[in-house]
Amino acid sequence: MSVAGVGEFGLIDRVTSRLSYGSTVLLGPGDDAAVVAAPDARVVASTDVLVEGRHFRRDWSSADDIGRRAAAANLADVVAMGADPTALLVALCVPADAATDWVEGLADGLGAEAAEVGASVVGGDMSASPTLTIAVTALGDLGGRTPVTRGGARPGDLVALAGRTGYAAAGFTVLSRGFRTPRLLVEAYRRPEVPYPAGPQAARLGATAMIDVSDGLLADLGHVARASGVAVDLTRDAFEVPPQMRDAAQALGVDPYAWLLAGGDDHALVATFPAATALPAGWRVVGRVGEGAGVTVDGLPFDGPGGWDHFR
């Protein structure tokens, strides 16, 4: 059955009937707007959009995978402020001949990823469009914590990383060259494993700045360096090339450090902490904040590709 066959309201019914709602949802889908608990009296909000052919391909990822990635990209932004995600809203534009099964799979992926952090899909909108497009807004609650911006890093701070980098970029390269393995890398591209609890944890530990790694570690630390008016130096030895990544890099003729340092979309969290901070498991020190500007690796500019621009 196509989405045109069931119509807008039929499709909305099919999708909302698959969703479940956590305790933060005071009023779910089906009215003019949802009502979500915001006990902190401040709400954290972020929007990301995924466009078919640019951010995902239906022949590379299942509907469920794409839903999980769309949710993860937004939930990561919320935890990168130190907040707990509470809700997602989804604007979905699909070709009229798309299968309702595909849309239901997407909703399942969005809902499942949100549920991992106790959040729920509370609303949205759908339209036919020639271009499959998924815009997600995530809301979160700070629980009394100070939001961790990009602008608070100070010279002398540690730079620490939670989660993986380079896996999704390696998986993307593998798929781009027409391969389907190594499975570890391809799955990392399809379904990022975001270290969600590390975000609020970093805020509690006194992180001075934090960002989720969506454009690549160098580019995203560049945002932190610029916003904080500092320099960041990464330690190359802090990054181990995992065996499957090393093998894939060799087979494809790629420098694996280009994946590790410049690959985006794993949604790791990178944060700066006062030097005396005792970092718990899950965080590892990968560099240091200094005076100056820009991001270096072992004191030198990185000579690989550095970032990502969605218009180029």
Residue ranges of the binding site: 32, 46-48, 55, 77, 124-125, 150, 212, 214-215, 265, 308
- The answer for residues whose C-beta is within 8 angstroms of residue 172's C-beta and 6 or more apart is 189, 263, 265
Q: Minimum distance between the CB of residue 243 and a second copy, rounded to whole angstroms?
A: 32
- 17 lies in the site for a second copy, by CB under 8 A: no
Query: For a second copy, which is the closer residue by CB, 39 or 274?
Result: 39
Calculate the alpha carbon distances from 35 to 89, 113, 121, 140 in Å.
Answer: 11, 20, 12, 13
**Are 267 and 221 spatial neighbours (Cβ–Cβ below 8 Å)?**
no
Choose, by CB under 8 A, the member of 70, 90, 158, 186 that binds a second copy.
90
User: Which amino acids are annotated as binding site for Mg(2+), given as ranges?
Assistant: 32, 46-48, 77, 125, 212, 215
Query: For a second copy, which is the closer residue by CB, 140 or 256?
Result: 140
- 228 lies in the site for a second copy, by CB under 8 A: no
Question: How far apart, in whole angstroms, are the C-alpha atoms of residue 166 and residue 189?
Answer: 9
- Size of interface with a second copy, in residues (CB under 8 A): 75
Query: For a second copy, which is the closer residue by CB, 174 or 295?
Result: 295
- 14 lies in the site for a second copy, by CB under 8 A: no
Q: Minimum distance between the CB of residue 20 and a second copy, rounded to whole angstroms?
A: 18
Calculate the alpha carbon distances from 256 to 90, 234, 259, 283, 288 in Å.
Answer: 35, 16, 5, 21, 22
User: Which amino acids are annotated as binding site for substrate, given as ranges?
Assistant: 55, 265, 308
Query: For a second copy, which is the closer residue by CB, 114 or 185?
Result: 114
Question: How far apart, in whole angstroms, are the C-alpha atoms of residue 266 and residue 206?
Answer: 24
- 59 lies in the site for a second copy, by CB under 8 A: no
Q: Is 196 left (phi over 0), alpha (psi -120 to 50) or beta?
A: alpha
Tell me which H or E stretch contains 132.
none
Tally of CB atoms within 10 A around 143: 13
Strand partners, 191: none
* Closest to 153 measured CA to CA, from 15, 2, 304, 290: 290
* Closest to 194 measured CA to CA, from 247, 138, 237, 149: 138
Q: Minimum distance between the CB of residue 22 and a second copy, rounded to whole angstroms?
A: 15
Residues 105-164 that bind a second copy (CB under 8 A): 122-131, 133, 135, 137-140, 142, 147, 149-151
- 96 lies in the site for a second copy, by CB under 8 A: yes
Q: Minimum distance between the CB of residue 290 and a second copy, rounded to whole angstroms?
A: 22
- 275 lies in the site for a second copy, by CB under 8 A: no
- 229 lies in the site for a second copy, by CB under 8 A: no
Binding piece for a second copy, criterion CB under 8 A, among 56-64, 106-114, 206-214, 293-301: 206-214
- The answer for residues whose C-beta is within 8 angstroms of residue 137's C-beta and 6 or more apart is 45, 46, 47, 74, 88, 89, 90
Choose, by CB under 8 A, the member of 18, 55, 236, 288 that binds a second copy.
55
- What b/e sequence results for 239-278 when a residue is b if at least 16 CB atoms lie within 10 Å of its CB, and e otherwise? bebbebbeebbeeeebebbbbbbbbbbbbbbbbbbeeebe
- 272 lies in the site for a second copy, by CB under 8 A: no
Residues 22-51 that bind a second copy (CB under 8 A): 26-27, 30-51
**Are 249 and 256 spatial neighbours (Cβ–Cβ below 8 Å)?**
yes
- 61 lies in the site for a second copy, by CB under 8 A: no
- 277 lies in the site for a second copy, by CB under 8 A: no
Residues 286-305 that bind a second copy (CB under 8 A): none
